[in-house]
Amino acid sequence: MSENPPQSPDPAPAVDDATPDAPGDDAPIEVRHRRAPRYGRFITTGLILGGFTSFVIAILTRGWSALAASDTFWLLLMVLGVVGMIAGAALAYLLDRRSLAAIDRQGPEARP
């Protein structure tokens, strides 16, 4: 007993490639490239710079207070790390706005 697989009722209608508004295969396509920043990398870089600054300040101010150098480092890192992350995010945002403005200057059809 062999069963034949069910056949689809009607195949999709063929699309006519000769329509006047459809570009041909060899017609050039205009492509615009938007250079958008990676927010995570900017935020991470801000955190790293905040950590480096905290380390330098903790070493330079060793013995100026009752806190140990490691305690000073961690306290500064909590403040300067967050400040660095916010500064990195703000810089990425400004660069993103600049990228969108450059696309707007190229023409209204270029905006994604």
* Residue 48 pLDDT greater than 90, yes or no: yes
Alpha helices in the chain (DSSP H): 39-60, 69-106
pLDDT band at 33 (very low <50, low <70, confident <90, very high): confident
Q: Give the global pTM.
A: 0.63
Q: How far is the C-alpha of 13 from the C-alpha of 22, rounded, in Å?
A: 17
pLDDT above 70 covers a percentage of the chain that reads 71
pLDDT band at 11 (very low <50, low <70, confident <90, very high): low
How do residues 55-98 score in pLDDT, each as one tens digit? 999 999 888 888 888 899 999 999 999 999 999 999 999 999 98
Q: What is the structure's pLDDT at 13? A: 57
Angle between helices 39-60 and 69-106 (to 10 degrees): 150
Nearest to 42 by CA among 78, 96, 79: 96
Decide: 96 and 104 in contact? Cβ < 8 Å.
Answer: no
Would you state the structure tokens that stand for residue 11, as one six-digit string?
Answer: 């195949």
pLDDT band at 37 (very low <50, low <70, confident <90, very high): confident
Which residue has better confidence, 106 or 99? 99
